[in-house]
Amino acid sequence: MPKQIIKQGEEKMQKTIESLQKEFSTIRTGKANPSILNNVQVEYWGMMTPLIQVGTVSVPDAQTIMIKPYDKSVLKNLEKAILTADLGFNPINDGDVIRIPVPPLTEEVRRNLTKDVKKIAENNKVAIRNIRRDILDQLKKLEKDSLISEDELKRNSDDVQKLTDKYIANIDNLAKEKEQAIMAF
């Protein structure tokens, strides 16, 4: 029973890491990265549709993102969606494709993005600690109901702490990597 509770908690911690990685992928670095556009929604046939579903996104060079829509009638809506997403880009519509020049980051923008990374990482660490708290509460309830001994509670609590430390270290590493990518010239 305690192993099952710990395993469920670990799965939640892993989902937190996956969510963090997804969130980090939308933060700009100095190079063009198509995942920056993951949250952009385009009006297509009267419905809001993710940008990646209305065209092919590619990176022809380190400073340009190119979007080739499957249907050219959506070009104006694509351009509008990128502008309203407020990503700091000025898309160029040449009638066939949308080109997005990715300007180099200024030092101030880099520092602000690094602060954002730290804030996001800290929020995810709090989420991991909340998962730990929930697991420990469930284990304490088992001990209170005499389903496990005090020794088993202590041993399982130590395992939960090791698991928590592992995932917190993982978050720290991911944040450090993202900060280095942002600060690299």
| pLDDT at site 34 | 85
| pLDDT at site 103 | 83
CB distance 16 to 167 below 8 Å: yes
| pLDDT at site 89 | 84
Label residues 56-86 b or e (16+ Cβ within 10 Å = b).
Answer: ebeeeeeeebbbebeeeebbebbbebbeebe
Percentage of residues of the chain with pLDDT beyond 70:
99
Residue type, 101: P
| pLDDT at site 21 | 92
Global confidence as pTM: 0.76
> What are the tens digits of pLDDT across the range 108-142?
888 999 999 999 999 999 999 999 999 999 989 98
> What are the tens digits of pLDDT across the range 70-97?
988 888 988 888 888 888 788 998 889 9
| pLDDT at site 68 | 93
Bridge-based pairing state of the strands 98-101 and 64-69: antiparallel
Domain architecture of the chain: domains with CATH: 2-26+106-183 (1.10.132.20), 34-101 (3.30.1360.40)
| pLDDT at site 102 | 85
Alpha helices in 95-149 (DSSP H): 107-144
Q: Is the pLDDT of residue 30 over 80?
A: no
| pLDDT at site 87 | 80
Q: Is the pLDDT of residue 185 over 70?
A: no
Stronger pLDDT, 13 or 33, i.e. the higher one: 13
> What are the tens digits of pLDDT across the range 38-71?
888 998 888 998 988 999 999 988 889 999 999 8
